[in-house]
Amino acid sequence: MNLNQIELLRVLQETDFNLSKAAEKMCVVQSAVSRQLQMFEVELGAPLFERNGKKLIGLTLLGKRIMQEVATINQAKQNIQTIAADFMDSEHGTIHIATTHAQAKYFLPAPIQRFREKYPGVRIYMQQSSPEHLIDQLHQHKADVAICTEKVQEDTELVTKDCYEWHHAAVMPHGHPLCEGEMSLQRLANYPILTYSFGFTGRSAIESALQKAGLELDVFLSAADSDVIKTYVRAGLGVGLITGMAYDADVDSDLTARSLADFIPSSKAKIAYLRNNYLPSYVQHFIAELLAAGKNVNA
């Protein structure tokens, strides 16, 4: 058994058990990986892969169980390299952040700026996508840290930290009937609604509030993006339900925003990363910066 064989197993999973593609990814010829796999299976005394003729088509029961250990080894190996690199130079490196549009545009700018002042040598890559995909990004090691509101706490392989609490706001053009008078979910239900897609930033809080009130909203447009929602609100298509942060009194001076804090339960933005993944000191510092910024928001 050697680390290349372990690595090969990982790569095979990522390439749909295709030896040729795996060989390419590992920068060796196909026959080499074929042999290595054979030798490994012989060493263990049992096949790890289901085969259709010579083609690999999946993992055996044994293979599935062993893949867990393989993942552990690869993670630890990665950690060793990261730890050593961090030890040698804790000023340079990269952070891959996976997050949603709302966080990227309205929350992250401040903490990232502060972080940059302390760590000018660290390159930051920001990747936007859906909360579900964010978690995949972490698992696939395409992101070091994720920031989002939904779905992260169910995963036992992730460490999550509460970052800040936020409320929804209703936005509409000036002169809209909802700009005046007592706000309520009932009144809201009279108008077409634009808000986040399912599984996105705080959509679940809206759903649970409605269910509790026995109401149904006419959400005729769902988007992942506060700015898209505002655009349609401006076009007079309805009332937008977005995070309070996303209303900027200057830029959005043509819109009225009213807090829904009393009607929709608050949502918690969270920071998540893989439990067994070593984070370089600057990433740990970055997370501290996020938490500090989060406290700031809550205050």
- Candidates 69-77, 232-240, 247-255, 290-298: pick the segment binding its own copies (CB under 8 A): 69-77
One of 34, 75, 129, 284 touching DNA (CB under 7 A): 34
The item of DNA, its own copies, none sharing an interface with residue 32, based on CB under 5 to 8 Å by kind, is DNA
Of the pair 40, 286, the CB lying nearest DNA is at: 40
Residues 22, 8 contacting (CB under 8 angstroms): yes
Question: Phi/psi zone of residue 77: left (φ > 0), alpha (ψ -120 to 50 degrees), beta?
Answer: alpha
Size of interface with its own copies, in residues (CB under 8 A): 25
Neighbour-count burial of 117, counting CB atoms closer than 10 A to its CB (0-12 exposed, 13-18 middle, 19+ buried): exposed
Among 39, 46, 83, 85, the residue binding DNA under the rule CB under 7 A is: 39
Instruction: Look at residues 133, 154, 157 and name the one whose alpha carbon lies nearest to residue 146.
Output: 133
Which range in 10-18, 71-79, 120-128, 247-255 contacts its own copies by CB under 8 A? 71-79
State which of residues 14, 16, 69, 248 lies at the interface with its own copies (CB under 8 A).
69
Figure out which of the listed residues 17, 166, 247, 286 binds DNA, where binding follows CB under 7 A.
17
Q: Which two tokens stand for residue 133?
A: 């995909």
Query: How much of the chain is helix, strand and coil, in % rounded to 5?
Result: 45, 25, 30
- Two structure tokens written together for 164: 């800040």
Determine the interface stretch with its own copies among 15-23, 41-49, 141-149, 288-296 (rule: CB under 8 A).
41-49
What is the pairing mode between strands 192-196 and 255-259? unpaired
- Which tokens is 254 given? 């043509």
CA-wise closest residue to 106 among 284, 214, 278, 251: 251
Interacting positions 45-64 with its own copies (CB under 8 A)? 45-46, 61-62
Residue 84: partners with Cβ closer than 8 Å, 6 or more residues away: none
CA-to-CA separations, 27 to 8, 19, 32, 170, in angstroms, rounded: 11, 12, 10, 54
Q: How far is the CB of 46 from DNA (least distance, A)?
A: 15
Task: Choose from its own copies, DNA, none: what does 235 bind? Cβ within 5-8 Å by kind.
Answer: none
Nearest alpha-carbon partner for 244 in 223, 231, 230:
230
Task: Tell which one of 9, 37, 148, 264 touches DNA (CB under 7 A).
Answer: 37
In whole angstroms, the minimum distance from the beta carbon of 75 to DNA comes to 22
Between 20 and 81, CB nearer to its own copies: 81
For residue 28, the partner it binds in its own copies, DNA, none, with Cβ less than 5 to 8 A by kind, is DNA
Is residue 9 near DNA by the rule CB under 7 A?
Answer: no
| Binder of residue 118, out of DNA, its own copies, none (CB less than 5 to 8 A by kind) | none
